[in-house]
């Protein structure tokens, strides 16, 4: 989803095209010395980002809505049951969205490989819905066969320094299956039939 097609009600007005071009050119120029080949991409990361950002708007709306609700209870316009229901609904939705954001931050958004430096770029989302790129050497990845079952739909990419990220060969978009399998596991214990092009 490009910046010019993002919903206006979530992000205000869309960015001017010149601003978008500057952002994209900065991102391209920042990795000129390293050419990464995208091996894997999770297709619904943009939706995860919108949900993760929505929790900020939801929390803000609840902070604005709670004082009038308390005032209406104080003057006797609503019952204590309505006040408790309002506070419970507001707190529950914010907690659910925060829990989803934490879970989304563990999903691997993109895995790219640089042959020149023998490194991988692991892209995921932080708690606020922004993209985070980690550049790791291949030696920092735990081999696929050490921490995964070949038959499970959701796999774990484990790094020695930054934790675990979840991905799925069955539901994710794999761009180069053979290179992905050689990067993830040198021993080749991965079932190739699970890979979708």
Per-residue pLDDT of the chain (197 residues; tens, 9 = 90+): 444 444 443 344 444 444 433 344 344 445 445 788 898 899 888 898 888 888 888 888 888 989 999 999 999 999 999 999 999 998 998 899 889 888 888 888 998 988 888 888 989 898 888 888 888 888 888 877 666 666 777 787 878 877 788 888 788 888 888 888 888 775 333 443 444 44
Q: pTM for the complete prediction? A: 0.65
| Final residue in a domain of this structure, among 63, 88, 104 | 104
Asked if residue 112 and residue 89 are part of one domain, the reply reads: no
Q: What domain range is 164 assigned to?
A: 35-43+107-194
pLDDT of residue 8: 46
Q: Where are the alpha helices (H) located in the chain, listed in sequence order?
A: 8-11, 17-30, 45-75, 80-104, 144-147, 177-184
The total of structural domains in the chain comes to 2
Q: Last residue of some domain: 104, 129, 150?
A: 104
28 belongs to a structural domain: no
Residues 189 and 120 in one domain: yes
* Dihedrals phi, psi of 171, to nearest 5 degrees: -105, -15
pLDDT, residue 29, reads 47
């Amino acid at each position: 989803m490009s910046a010019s097609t993002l919903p206006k009600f979530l992000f205000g007005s869309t960015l001017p095209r010149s601003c978008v071009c500057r952002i994209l050119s900065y991102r391209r120029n920042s990795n000129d010395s390293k050419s990464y080949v995208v091996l894997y991409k999770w297709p619904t990361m943009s939706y995860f980002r919108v949900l993760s950002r929505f929790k900020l708007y939801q929390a803000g709306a609840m902070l604005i809505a709670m004082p009038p609700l308390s005032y209406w209870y104080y003057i006797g316009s609503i019952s204590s049951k309505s006040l408790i229901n309002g506070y419970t609904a507001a707190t529950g939705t914010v907690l659910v969205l925060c829990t989803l954001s934490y879970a989304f931050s563990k999903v691997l958004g993109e895995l790219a490989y640089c042959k020149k430096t023998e490194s991988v770029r692991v892209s995921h989302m932080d708690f606020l819905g922004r993209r985070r790129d980690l550049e790791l050497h291949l030696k920092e990845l735990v081999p696929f066969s050490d921490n995964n079952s070949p038959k499970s739909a959701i796999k774990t990419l484990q790094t020695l320094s930054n934790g675990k990220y979840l991905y799925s060969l069955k539901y994710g978009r794999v761009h180069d299956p053979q290179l992905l399998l050689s990067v993830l596991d040198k021993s080749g214990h991965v079932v190739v039939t699970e890979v979708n092009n």
